[in-house]
Structure 1
Amino acid sequence: MSTDMTIDWDVEVPMRDGLVLRADVFRPQESGNYPVILAMGPYGKGLHFEEGFPSYWRDMVEAFPEIAENTSNRYQNWELVDPEKWVPDGYVCVRVDSRGAGRSPGFLDPQSQIEARDFYDCIEWAGVQPWSNGKVGLLGISYYAVNQWHVAALRPPHLAAICVWEGFADYYRDKVRHGGIMNDFLDGWFNKQVVRVQHGVGGRGFIDPNTGYPVAGDDQLSEQELRENRGDPAGNVKARQLDGAYYAERTPDLSRIEVPLFSAGNWGGMGLHTRGNVEGFVAAGSTQKWLEMHGDTHFSPFYTDRGIALQKQFFGTFLKKEDNGWLDRPAVEVLVRHPGEKFTSRFEDAWPLPGTVWTKFYLDPHENALTNEPKSAEPVAYHAMGEGVRFSLPVADHAREFTGHAALHLSLSSSTVDADVFVVLQLFDPQGEEVTFIGSNDPKVPVGLGWLRASHRALDPDRSTPYRPYHTHKDPQPLEPGVPVTLDIEIWPTSIVIPSGYRLDLVVLGRDYKNSEIEIADAMYTTQGVGPFTHTDPADRPAEVFDTVNHLHFDPADPPYLLLPEIKAAN
């Protein structure tokens, strides 16, 4: 509990350019040298979880009461560890407000190279403090996971291990432009979640209940001064449709990561993190690396007893040299998803899962079915903003599992010079009702999602595989109206066991998937099945280009098909 900790508030951490960031340090009362769990980010180290996000906290604790047990909850912070559950086990927990956020001054520019350099300096500072054993581990959800990829690629000497819990890796493909299509998340996230705790908001903002200090610093700047002291992430993305230097600066070289790595991803994180956790695990240069894929919300798996036990076993191995069995753990654990929010754990030796049978299901427009043999047919038209075209996998009398990457191979023409293709995998029960799942940012997500702007269809042959197309997004190729082009569309990693009598559908359309809209208190958006990751910007998707009629083509020489990762020994 808190009485067993020594807490140092607003400790000054010097950066190499002379700026000082501020950190809170939670450490055991007994002097000694302890391993460090460090996180740095822009959400305000003094903003209490329950005050900043009350409905998320309430819903999480109602679903998992264990989260609020054995702690006073006084120091619960959004997407960070509860120090009352770590310090008693002999860890020092350090939270740093990143440059320009919270109580740290400076220019606010999230996920920039300067921020990664600051993170490096924080790690090196923590590694030589009198309470440190010289081993620093990084842990946190989302933003506090994403920037781990960046700093680990810089190889700070005192960094000993990273646990990337639901964190994307590719700024362009994972966060801001799905398949080249700009999503609506960035502007709302930055202005509603980050700017509210920008350094200089001062007493107009939140107050830290533990210190009485303003969460966003003692300085109180004018609105104009605040605007001048921060970047414009959404504006920068809107001005840059193609991948290039701006996105490269915010996308780490994963091959340079060499420290032990534990990547924990969420099947329901479609639209932000899922792809990055898998890509990061596969591409990291670390010789010791593990992947775990789970379900449920963005927060609960991190804070439950199971989540904390995994984190402590991993860090106990690499920060404390404990012989706790982690090194005997297989490289991959998948919590295979079943309808009804049921998951079964299975360990594997690699990703993609060994023994995966990459199975082609051909699109049959005659029966609107997914079949084992290709079918020739006349082109099928659909209105891009309508219900799209649906193809169903025939119902089986046995369970079938699909876990891993998926892809869609299409031939498509447009009546204009471009087309946005949205791909949805949906599950239906024997009564014909759609079965959705709790997602990380939406309570009702489908089985899988994929996106591609047709003019961005060019593939990188060195980085593409049949099950994971990789598009360059650097050389747009406009369509000639009425002339079909070949598209290979990535569908983000997924897992589903389809029970006997259930049906899997593929839907091809020109807009976002939608189910019933749900208002969630404190959320920055109305949920419709894709969280905040909608694609509706009229400047990015002008109606005269994208609100049009498309045609699917069925050439027997190049038939369209859905490629699924079938696991023959279905659970």
Structure 2
Amino acid sequence: MSHTTYQQGMRIDWDVPITMDDGLVLRADVFRPQEEGKYPVLMTYGPYAKGLAFQTGYPSAWNKMVSEHPDVPHGSSNIHQNWEVVDPEKWVPEGYICIRVDSRGTGRSPGYVDHFSPRETKDYYECIEWAGQQDWSTGKVGLSGVSYFGINQWHVASLQPPHLAAMCVWEGSADWYRDMTHHGGILSTFWANWYDMQVRTVQHGLGARGGRSPTSGMLICGDEMLSDAQLAANRCDFGDEILAHPLDDKYHKERSPDWDKVTVPFLSAANWGGQGLHPRGNFEAYMRAASEHKWLEAHGLEHWTHFYTDYGRELQLQFFNCFLKGEDNGWANRKRVQLQMRHPDKFEERFAEDWPLPETDWQKLYLQPAAQILAERPPSQAAETDFDALGDGLTFVTEPLEQQTAIAGPMSARLRVSSTTEDADIFLVVRVFTPDLREVVFAGAIDPHTPVAQGWLRASHRKLDPVLSRPYRPYHTHDEVQPLEPGVPVDLDVEIWPTSIVIPKGYRLALSVRGKDYIWQASTGARLSNFKNELLGCGPFLHDDPRDRPENVFGGTTTLHLDPNNPSFLMVPVIAEGAP
């Protein structure tokens, strides 16, 4: 049953019931100022269990963050810290009510677990409308949070809840097919593994097996104790459901936003190193959402870090103060794009009027067969070069750069390929090397050794959407399979997710064309407590399910056809360093 305590200068209403239209009751914790009055709301809705402390559920991530960024724990007791949601001790004193809702079937909310489904999105809508009509609410509800708590913001915004006034989507992908489950049509195994590690462990019905919250005193996963069979019956078979939908069909479209209906003001915050999950959605949202008031920010470091640092928190606060409190604080007049540009050893802040940056010089670097180089001119003679279709592939490298070169934006590649089988998977990796040919890698959202950029395409999914495609961002329909005829070349336009890097003079830019996931090195020892695999360069965002990539279809030989009359190239977004 719900109850109230007073802690850290806040009134906390634990386990507040919110009844859905089908009669199911979700449970929420409400953190609000002790002083009576009406306040704007910051809400999150998700599956990670509101009673599970960040430090308990994700100890390796927490310990790394607070040791390297002391501003995160400073000024808070940190006993109310939860994974990927705001710390109420830092937001309630600013005049906000913070609400955490356990999504259907997780934590203390009963029901059937079906992630990002229309039912979940409808639940979120109803939670927003409930919060907007409470006596303590001003009627303005903002949405906040990282990852899952960002993804579902795009979805619920498509339903246009009347009380939804602003969103901050911090590293939140959007398109269930292109961003999350199938990269270029190739199945990502991330979600099946994530489900096992981060959702089943906090499913409603675990009872005492799920542990007890030290702050509320309640069992984290509900009071009832269900059998393993009952628990299994109360959740979807997530990995196999995704596998069963290899094309962008109704299943995926129901779990993706309708950009024409996303009209609420928002701040979209991307992570350059989030390849394999989030950054694409943050950039696509900025480019395609109908909102008149929208801003884009891009940063580096780990997936969760800057959401909690003073840099990120103060950015969010200024945004929400503008749209939830109506403060004339300068936010509405700021430039729409704020980038933390990556250098090999630092970040440098840059502001711009739009994305892609208006001053972008789209340059083509051509794949040359001789010595496998990237050059400013196409090859003079036609040539073919092969690689094992499931192997490490080929790498094309520029000559040492004659001057420092800044890159920021989406990228693409045009390749002409054939296969000895009826299909081929292409993995592209944009890389930078020092003058002595050591690779420059970055602390990514998850993996500590992330390359500059990545892109993927299954050759049989090469069909383009002529309306949404741009030279710098091809957009594939993924609505039919077009098998290859063995030995017959086809043209592939491959999307490479947005990136930034300032490459020093004398360094080299490279493009690897592979038949499998990038590997920085064979063993790193890098692991996080909430992921199964060792982090070798792609984090947990792998494409290694043999059911999706059977060897008889994808295990042949792939040939690159390098033709001066139809050249293969990498399109690079070069920007002037002195531009605003």
TM-score (norm 1): 0.98
Could you tell me which of 302, 305, 315 is aligned with 1:300?
305
Q: Counterpart amino acid of 2:196?
A: N
Partner in structure 2 of residue 354 of structure 1 = 358
Task: Please say if 1:378 is aligned against 2:386.
Answer: no
User: How big is the shift at 1:280?
Assistant: 0.9
What is the CA-CA distance between 1:370 and the residue it aligns to?
1.1
Task: Supply the AA of the counterpart residue of 1:548.
Answer: G
1:3–1:568 Cα change, 3 Å: closer
Instruction: After TM superposition, give the deviation of residue 92 of structure 1 in Å.
Output: 0.4
Partner in structure 2 of residue 562 of structure 1:
570
Question: What residue number does 1:240 align with?
Answer: 245
Superposed displacement of residue 543, structure 1:
1.2
1:265 to 256, 264, 270: 270
| Alignment pair present for 1:549 and 2:554 | no
Shift of residue 377 of structure 1? 2.6
Distance in 2 (alpha carbons) for counterparts of 1:51 and 1:233: 25
TM normalised by structure 2 equals: 0.97
After superposition, give the CA deviation of every residue in 1:19-66 in whole Å (9 maximum; x if it has no partner): 111000000000000010000001000100000011110000011011
Q: Deviations over 1:134-174 (max 9, x none)?
A: 10000000000000001111111111000000000100010
Q: Report the alpha carbon displacement of residue 570 of structure 1 after superposing the two structures with TM.
A: 6.2
Amino acid paired to 2:562: F
Pair 166,521 (structure 1): closer, same or farther in 2 beyond 3 Å: closer
Task: Note if contact 1:421-1:510 (Cα within 8 Å) is conserved in structure 2.
Answer: yes
1:334-373 deviation per Cα after TM superposition (whole angstroms, max 9, x unaligned): 1111002x11111111111011011111110113111111
Identity %: 53
Moved more, 378-387 or 62-71: 378-387
Q: Confirm whether residue 217 of structure 1 aligns to residue 228 of structure 2.
A: no
Residue 333 of structure 1 aligns to a residue in which SS? Answer: strand
Contact 2:142 2:165 (C-alpha < 8 Å) held by counterparts: yes
1:8 and 2:16 are equivalent in the alignment: no
Q: Displacement of 1:386 after TM fit?
A: 2.8
2:524 paired with 1:520:
no
- Among 17, 23, 30, the alignment partner of 2:35 is 30
Q: Distance in 2 between matches of 1:18 and 1:396?
A: 64
Q: 1:201 maps to what in 2?
A: 206
CA distance in structure 1 between the aligned counterparts of 2:8 and 2:308, rounded to whole angstroms: 21
- Asked if 1 retains the 8 angstrom alpha-carbon contact of 2:198 and 2:530, the reply is no
Aligned to 1:82: 87
1:46-65 residue pairs with structure 2 within 5 A? 46-65=51-70
Query: What is the aligned counterpart of 1:72 among 68, 77, 83?
Result: 77
Q: Which residue of 1 aligns with 2:3?
A: none
TM superposition shift of 1:557: 1.9
**1:107, 1:230 within 8 Å by CA — same for their partners in 2?**
yes
- CA-atom RMSD, angstroms? 1.1
| Distance in 1 between residues matched to 2:117 and 2:141, nearest whole Å | 22
Task: Please state how far the C-alpha of 1:256 moved relative to its aligned partner.
Answer: 0.3
Name the residue aligned to 1:539. 547
> What is the deviation of 1:521?
4.0
Contact 2:270 2:297 in 1 (8 A): yes
Q: Distance in 2 between matches of 1:56 and 1:215?
A: 20
Report the CA distance between 1:385 and its aligned residue.
2.9
CA distance in 2, matches of 1:87, 1:131: 13
Aligned to 2:392, the other structure's residue is in SS state coil
SS of equivalent residue, structure 2 residue 220: coil
For 1:385-396, list aligned pairs within 5 A.
Answer: 385-396=390-401
Give the SS at the match of 2:221: coil
Distance in 2 separating the partners of 1:544 and 1:568: 47
Q: Whole-Å Cα distance in 1 between the matches of residues 578 and 183 of structure 2?
A: 31
Whole-angstrom CA distance in 1 between matches of 2:262 and 2:553: 42
Deviation at 1:130, TM superposition (A): 1.2
Query: Is the Cα contact below 8 Å between 1:258 and 1:286 reproduced in 2?
Result: yes
Distance 1:16 1:347 in 2: 44
**Unmatched 5+ residue regions in structure 2?**
1-5
- 1:4-26 CA deviation, whole Å, 9 max, x = no partner? 10000000011111111100000
Q: Which of 89, 95, 101 lines up with 2:106 in the alignment?
A: 101
User: What amino acid is aligned across from residue 116 of structure 1 in structure 2?
Assistant: T
Instruction: Tell which deviates more after alignment, 381-390 or 427-436.
Output: 381-390
Question: Where in structure 1 are there 5+ consecutive unaligned residues?
Answer: none
| CA–CA separation in structure 2 for the residues paired with 1:458 and 1:448 | 23
Of 384, 404, 408, the match for 1:403: 408
| Maintained 8 Å contact 1:406/1:565 | yes
The correspondence of residues 146-185 of structure 1 with structure 2, limited to 5 A, is 146-185=151-190
Confirm or deny: 8 A CA contact 2:197 2:530 kept in the other structure. no
The one of 243, 255, 268 equivalent to 1:250 is 255
On the 8 A contact 1:497/1:570 being kept in 2, the answer is no
**Secondary structure of 1:65's match?**
coil
Match of 1:368 in 2: 372
